[in-house]
Structure formats: C-alpha cells, structure tokens
Amino acid sequence: MHFDSEDLARTTVAPSADVLWEILLGLHALQERNEEVALDGWRRRTRPIIPASLRPLLEIAPPRGYSADFLTPTRGTADLGTAVDRLLSTTRNELTRDFTEFARQGRTPFIARSLDAREAVRRVARDVDEFYKIALAPYWKQISRDIEVERSQLVQILAEHGVERLLGTLHPYARWEHPVLHVDHYVDQDVQLGGRGLVLVPSFFCRHHPITLRAPELPPSLVFPIARRTWLAKPQTDEPGGNQPLEGLLGRTRTTVLKTAMTGCSTTDIARAAGISPASVSHHTKVLREAGLITTRRDGYSVCHEITDLGLSLLTSTVNTPIRQLHSPGPRPKDPQAI
C-alpha cells in the first residue's frame, strides 16, 4: 500500500466492528478445517444448523481464493440494517466486476448463472441476514466487545504516537517502510491510495494476515486480526443477573471496575462508572492488579488501567479462555468440502 502525505493524514481507525466483514470472514472460518481452536466450539455449534439454502452465499465467499468484493462495502458499520441497505445498493457494474473475476478463476457461482443482477443482490442480502442471525447474533456482544478493546488501543497509539507508529505495530505480517505498508503472506498486489487515505478495520474472524479488497477503485481499507480474542464456546445471552457469579466472587464494585477497564480507562472513569471516590478506586485497582486481572501504567499526569488476558477470561465466562492470535506462516490447509 503506497502512501503520500495526504494518505497519512487521512488514515483512521474504523469507528466500530464492521458487521459485513465479520459475516464474510465468519463464512470463511466456518468452511475451514483444522484451524484455530478458539473457534472450534463455535464451528461445532454452527455448522449443523446452517441450512442448505445458504450454499449460494458460501459459493461467493470461499475460504481460499477470491471472495466477492460487493459483500463488504462498509468500513466500520456495526448496525446490520444499515449494512444490508448498503449491500442492496450494489450496482449492476459492481456485480459484473466480481462475476468477471470469478470467471477468470474458472468459477461461475449459482447467483451469476441463475439470477439477474437485481434478484442476485436481493438473494445475497437475504442470505447475509439469515447467516448473521444463525451464526453471529448469539455471539455478537462478545465479538464486538473484543474488537472494541483492540480499537481503543489502536486509537490510543494513533493519538499518542502518530499514524506511522500505528502502521508499524499493526500486525506481525505488516511492515511499515515509509512510504509503503507491506503485507507479507498475502496476494501480490499494489494499492495506490492516491490521497484517499486508509481505514483500518480490526476483525474478530480475520485470520492469518491483514486483507483488503481486490478492486483498486473501491475505498481503501485494511482488515486485520485482533491481537486478543476470547473463545466463542457458547452463545452469549442478555439474561438478567448474568454477572451474578462473578459479583459473588469479586463483589459488584470490583466487577464494575474490571468491566470498565476493558477499553482502558482512567481512575476518574472508573469512579464515575462505579459511583465511588477516586481513593476507593485506588484500593480496588490495587487488589485487581495484585490478582493479575488488570495492569496500571502512567499516562502523563494520570494513570491508565487495562484488563489483562486473565481478567478478560474471568469477565466473559468461566469457560471462555482468551488467547493470543497465532500467526503461522505455514500454508493454509485445503478445505475438502464446504459445510
């Protein structure tokens, strides 16, 4: 990715998780075999309930090779309704571009050979909505929470050290050599930003390396794996009293302190969230810090409290264990068959 001074000035972090990118990359993850164990429980629960009617969607989102660019027109849109509306605005030319790329690779998806452009877009939008409800909605709270933790850290790096430090520490496979960002173990592709800037999109389901869109005329974005994510071992619920076991262990105040520290926060932030004095915050953070559940570092004249892997594991559930994203340079296994 080739930057000029305007591109550096216009590089930003996506405002939230991007639901369409998570759907696309969730489709990839669901079809893969022998991949990261963090997704094993989610795969076991999800694969048996994916209906055969979604096979046309799987065809245009294979885990290896090209996936249709029109599936991901957004860059940080968490609301499914808004995202699907944007998907429904896909033009005939955009469909033709993607179908031409499939044909170049010797593939003709069902929607390309059986449906006209308008009906194809409607079918894809309907399937995307159904896949989200089956595979992502039960876990979306956890997915978006893990992405927000990463996003907050990126924003802090950008604010304190600037965009070049952010690009230089983005991912093990990303190398910043001014004025070019190199992404290793990916396709051989040059992206000329041309003053458009770049939107950085942290993703829960992205694996292996950062990725981008194939079509050079589309708004530039770079989607990359978050560094830390929790197991998708069971669907998350919003039932009342969901934190009662943890509150019984830590107490309600310390549970609130731990939750507030998920995105990095000051002593004042915790005092406001928990309804206690700054002096009381210092006592509670000391206990949590000594237990290895948070860390505290000085940030100018204030301090910043951040949750640890152990703290995040305890907060999400007793069966959710956080892991670090593994970046294996080895070849990706072939997927013998879709679901």
Q: 210 near 186, Cβ under 8 Å? A: yes
- Indicate the angle between helix axes 252-260 and 309-316, nearest 10 degrees: 120
**pLDDT, tens digit (0-9, with 9 covering 90-100), for 233-247:** 666 544 445 556 777
Q: What whole-number distance in Å separates Cα of residue 109 and Cα of residue 59?
A: 6
pLDDT confidence band for 263 (50 / 70 / 90): low
Average pLDDT of 285-297? 92
Structural domains of the chain sorted by starting position, each given as residue range(s) with its CATH number in brackets: 5-229 (no CATH), 244-318 (1.10.10.10)
Q: What whole-number distance in Å separates Cα of residue 291 and Cα of residue 311?
A: 9
**What are the tokens at 221?**
């974005």
Q: What stretches of the chain adopt beta strand conformation (E)?
A: 12-13, 174-177, 180-183, 199-203, 221-225, 228-229, 294-299, 302-307, 323-324
Q: What whole-number distance in Å separates Cα of residue 337 and Cα of residue 33?
A: 9
**What are the tokens at 37?**
């164990």
Average pLDDT of 286-291? 93
**pLDDT, tens digit (0-9, with 9 covering 90-100), for 302-335:** 788 888 888 887 876 543 433 333 333 333 333 3
**pLDDT, tens digit (0-9, with 9 covering 90-100), for 48-95:** 999 999 999 999 999 988 999 999 999 999 999 999 999 999 999 999
Comparing CA positions, the residue from 187, 58, 181 lying closest to residue 111 is 58
Residue type, 178: H
What pLDDT is stored for residue 338 in this prediction? 34
Pairing of strands 323-324, 228-229: antiparallel
Mean pLDDT, the chain, whole residue set: 85
